[in-house]
Amino acid sequence: MRSDRASLGLKIAAVAGLLFLHLPILLIFVYAFTTEDTSYQWPPPGLTLQWFGVTWNRPDVWEALSLSLRVAAISTAIALVLGTLCAAAVARSRFFGRETISLLVILPIALPGVITGISLRSAFNLAEIPFSFWTIVAGHATFCVVVVYNNAVARFRRTSGSLIEASMDLGANYFQTFRLVILPNIATALLAGGMLAFALSFDEVIVTTFTSGQQQTLPIWMLEELVRPRQRPVTNVVAMVVVLVTAVPILIAYYLTRGTDTVAGQGK
């Protein structure tokens, strides 16, 4: 009886926690359809789809969305290359300072975004690098690499080294071994890491604020609209799009990496 009560209490606490986290997001969805464009009222005075059309015809929204997508795509590509190479080195090699390198790779995502942003801004100023599209990419790549690295290194460690040895013994060269043995075993981990990196980059605000100069990614545009609003429901429509764009890759990444505790060749 006591265990049943404890189980019920945990379930209630879990539901309460989920509601606390997700009810504000649901409110954003509701206010994207409100007929009131100057203030937030509850319940909304009416519902309409007009703000979707207004948002579609706003060129500033499209410019910010285009910049966010391009930054996220290039940052993810850089992270896939650097994160995979670093994971392979750490997981498959033994050398002095290996754990230190692993810590340094993970550190950017552990530090507050303000620290990372200030550091990058100071470095760009010292090097006299003007703020541009590429400074945003550099800032986003610092934490995107960590996401890819964490996924890749975990998969490398669960993949048996005997598979690689067997491939080399059978006459395969390094490229063939990577293409036919290693890549199939780590592909889902890389895809999941890439999707998570894309989602993180797409909705990043703090680091972008310090590295973007006068450019506006979609989250920065939303922040500006909240400070100086013109049409509040448009901001909610854009926020709803951001939620969907970031949630879908995270869900796909979850399903890709689910049930991958056992990898081919593990333990042999």
- At 74 the pLDDT is 92
Mean pLDDT by runs of 10 across the 268 residues of the chain is 68 83 77 67 70 80 87 90 84 72 77 83 85 87 86 77 68 72 76 84 85 83 74 78 76 65 42
Task: List CB contacts of 108: < 8 A, sequence separation 6 or more.
Answer: 116, 142, 143, 145, 146
- CATH hierarchy code of domain 59-257: 1.10.3720.10
The pair of structure tokens assigned to 159 is: 């993949």
Instruction: List Cβ neighbours of 206 (8 Å cut-off, separation of 6 or more).
Output: 112, 113, 114, 116, 117
Q: What is the DSSP letter of 97?
A: T
pTM summary value: 0.76
Strand partners, 47: 34
CA distance 215 to 14: 40
* Distance separating alpha carbons of residues 33 and 236, to the nearest angstrom: 9
Task: Give the pLDDT score at 97.
Answer: 67
What pLDDT score was predicted for residue 181?
Answer: 74
Q: Are 33 and 232 in contact (CB under 8 A)?
A: no
